[in-house]
Amino acid sequence: MTWRKRTILLTGGSGVLGRALIDELAHDFDIVCMRHRTPVADPRISEFSGDFAHPTLGLDTADYRRLTQRVDAVVHSAAVTSWKEDPETILRTNLAGPRALLRLAGDAEVPLYFFSTAFVANPPGDGSSFPGAATYVQSKIDAEQLVRDDPAQTVIVRPSVVSGSTVDGRMSAFQGLHRVLGGVVRGRVPLIPCDSDSLIDTIPQDLVAAVLGKLLRENIVEGEFWLSAGPEALHAGDILTLCREIGEELGITSAPPRFVPSEAVDRLLLPLLEDALPPDAQAMFRDFLEFTWLFQTPEPLPTSMSELGFGPQVTRGALLEATAKSLRYWARTKGLGRTDQARVA
């Protein structure tokens, strides 16, 4: 008897998480990627250009019907993640996707797996200084409510800050984590706007993908899961030490940055330095403020990793090693030096 592979409709396939999901799922599933602008261009998948605002995702009626008959599950990882976008665009786009895919999941009578963020656990209060980041988290909170209220079978997964592969640190594109930590490695950050004991929760991309693979393979079609380090998350001081070790490996020497309260930097120091700092330095510092404002947490985030069987991969030591690999991969890609033989001291 011949069994066909189950078919997954995946959005966001050209993104960091989407690429990792394809690596995890391609062997066991047929993957159809819905893209917006950027082609996925991976021989392991098929793809089509779609539109969340269209009632049949931009497909004609016959193709949409064929898609609903073919697909066995929907995985929605696409989202506007750039905080530099207009807040209205972030909110509109990040709600349009879940609405459209919930409709498709209902028409196909299949489950929807929705990627949110673990930082819905700490919704921002006054986001006036960083409206893009605040709107991004709010868009995920609102989208989760849409998913939760829908009659379709749904699973919500909430990764924290996604870092590179545990194997070699590789990822398809660098995000805010690397912009911020790269500045520390290069010795360009004199101040770190948080407490040294603050938690910076990161989770490697291949672990996020492995969790989704487990949920799909075991036909878990309902629930909400936190993909975070929880109490094993690294402290800001741990990450600073790691950045300085990697900087030394690259031959970069600089005075260590100081930890200061973020309020002091945002309200006092940055306005004074605006005339003295060049525009690129101002932009980097604001990125640093925005990152720490959103992603530092005084208490551990909730985590489902042990419940899902991934506890041994999410220890402080394993996460420190994974972060080191991710930073060394970033350094190699940027041509900063030969780091492939380096190890954490």
Is residue 202 exposed (0-12), middle (13-18) or buried (19+ Cβ within 10 Å)? buried
Higher pLDDT, 36 or 288: 36
Higher pLDDT, 306 or 259: 306
Using the predicted structure, report yes or no on whether residue 342 has a pLDDT greater than 50: no
Residue 163 has a pLDDT of 95
Domains and CATH numbers, the chain: 6-159 (3.40.50.720), 166-200+232-299+313-345 (no CATH)
Q: Which has the closest alpha carbon to 310: 165, 204, 169? A: 204
Q: Which has the closest alpha carbon to 328: 344, 316, 345? A: 344
Using the predicted structure, report yes or no on whether residue 282 has a pLDDT greater than 80: no
Using the predicted structure, report yes or no on whether residue 340 has a pLDDT greater than 50: no
Digit-coded pLDDT (tens) for 5-41? 999 999 999 999 999 999 999 999 999 999 988 899 9
Q: What is the mean pLDDT of residues 216-235?
A: 97
Position 343 confidence tier, pLDDT thresholds 50, 70, 90: very low
**Least confident range of 102-116, 148-162, 178-192, 295-309:** 178-192
Digit-coded pLDDT (tens) for 163-213? 999 999 999 998 888 888 888 898 887 888 888 999 999 999 999 999 999
Higher pLDDT, 268 or 91: 91
Residue 42 has a pLDDT of 95
If you search the block for the tokens 């741990």, which residue do you land on? 238
Q: Which has the closest alpha carbon to 107: 76, 150, 148, 141? A: 150
pTM score > 0.95 for this model?
no
Digit-coded pLDDT (tens) for 235-264? 999 999 999 999 999 998 888 888 888 777
DSSP H or E run through 294: helix 279-295
Digit-coded pLDDT (tens) for 67-96? 999 999 999 999 998 887 889 999 999 999
Report the alpha-carbon distance of residue 7 to residue 146 in Å, rounded.
24
Using the predicted structure, report yes or no on whether residue 273 has a pLDDT greater than 70: no
Residue 18 has a pLDDT of 96
Tell me, what DSSP letter sits at residue 226? E
Residue 255 has a pLDDT of 83
Cβ atoms 163, 323 nearer than 8 A = yes
Position 126 confidence tier, pLDDT thresholds 50, 70, 90: low
Using the predicted structure, report yes or no on whether residue 322 has a pLDDT greater than 50: yes
Percent of the chain whose pLDDT exceeds 70: 92
Report the alpha-carbon distance of residue 332 to residue 20 in Å, rounded.
20
Residue 1 has a pLDDT of 47
Q: What is the mean pLDDT of residues 55-78?
A: 97
